[in-house]
Structure 1
């Protein structure tokens, strides 16, 4: 990954990627396989780095959490066959390391627009949800394009995910549909714009 200062500073690209995944998903217990997928590293590398981070006190064993149909989450009780790890909130340097990881993220938000342009002619891009530290919002990324190519857009966003160390929830609309939803004060749009958000791109000044 280009310009990954964190990886260079730590001396291990896989460790920087795995650490970034856990820092950006502090409340979510992750298996080795899921951490490897989100960090875009091999399972063997993820396992090695997780054990090192656990030994350093950054991570601790977690408990599986299942998502219910109503959107709430419930911790699985009893003995678990699948091991998970999570950030140890009692780690004395957590605040410092979390701030550092966010500060040296190799991709600044405005480069997201450049990546999305590979999916089509972009007219608007809004950051919300997890990018603003609020997972209760309906989407992390709202995109309007002249023509929506779902497959191409999906591939573009999935390629961005390892950089931010988490799944990116997104909503995509054609430009006319997006403009219409703005006019009728669509719930998803309202739940995005009425709360902390960042307009990265607004080609026709709709926002």
Structure 2
């Protein structure tokens, strides 16, 4: 992302632009931008102001469901958010540019999951390999994996790709069973375009 950071001013701006261009109908308040783009509140405010001045996003007031301490019933609160400006004159070109410059290397993806434990199989599918209709984007096979580290790795990739990533963790024996019985979900991953980042199953 280094060359994009130089072009757009910072890595944070690239991630925030991707968040809006890849989710064109969504309204995000600052807290959600902080969470999804993995930037600080100060950086989020700065980038949202810059994108609003450039007419890439528009401010929009909406009602957000929030939970008060000790309550299980959400309350609706009026919130200031931002949404992609559908009338931005260069929107098509900007969105295309953001999609075609997505470049997280296979080695980098594998590195981000390294702390999760002994992963036997790590497969990318769905939108991560250009298939918009996939049900799962990342399949992770292994035993005694650290789910919190997997979630952190996925969250970091979501910030890069600007959209939610659907993932599934499957124990090794269960994966082999699913393959034998032609499980629908596993079949839709492995029988269609996918990319194996880690495959240690053949070495067992």
TM-score, normalized by length of structure 2?
A: 0.75
Structure 2 match to 1:58? 56
Structure 1 match to 2:15? 17
Matches within 5 A, 1:59-74: 59-61=57-59
**Residue 47 (structure 1) shift:** 2.3
SS at match of 2:28: coil
Structure-2 separation of matches of 1:62 and 1:187: 41
Structure-2 separation of matches of 1:113 and 1:147: 18
**Residue 63 (structure 1) shift:** 7.6
Structure 1: stretches of 5+ with no match in the other structure: 67-79
Structure-2 separation of matches of 1:37 and 1:95: 26
CA radius of gyration, larger in: 2
Structure 2 match to 1:40? 38
Distance 1:204 1:64, change over 3 A: farther
Structure 2 match to 1:192? 189
Structure 2: stretches of 5+ with no match in the other structure: 65-76
Q: Does the CA contact (< 8 Å) of 1:4 and 1:105 recur in 2?
A: no
**Residue 144 (structure 1) shift:** 0.9
Q: Aligned-residue CA RMSD in angstroms? A: 3.0
Cα offsets for 1:150-189 (capped at 9, x unmatched):
2332233233332223332210112221121111122322
What is the count of residue pairs matched by the alignment?
A: 191
Distance 1:195 1:177, change over 3 A: same
Structure-2 separation of matches of 1:132 and 1:55: 34
SS at match of 1:143: strand
Q: Which runs of 4+ in 1 moved over 4 A?
A: 61-66, 132-136
TM-score, normalized by length of structure 1?
A: 0.74
Matched, 1:131 2:136: no
Structure-1 separation of matches of 2:86 and 2:141: 38
Compare 107-116 and 133-142 and name the one that shifted more.
Answer: 133-142
Structure-1 separation of matches of 2:162 and 2:48: 14
**Residue 29 (structure 1) shift:** 2.2
**Residue 205 (structure 1) shift:** 5.3
Name the one with the larger strand percent.
2
SS at match of 2:135: coil
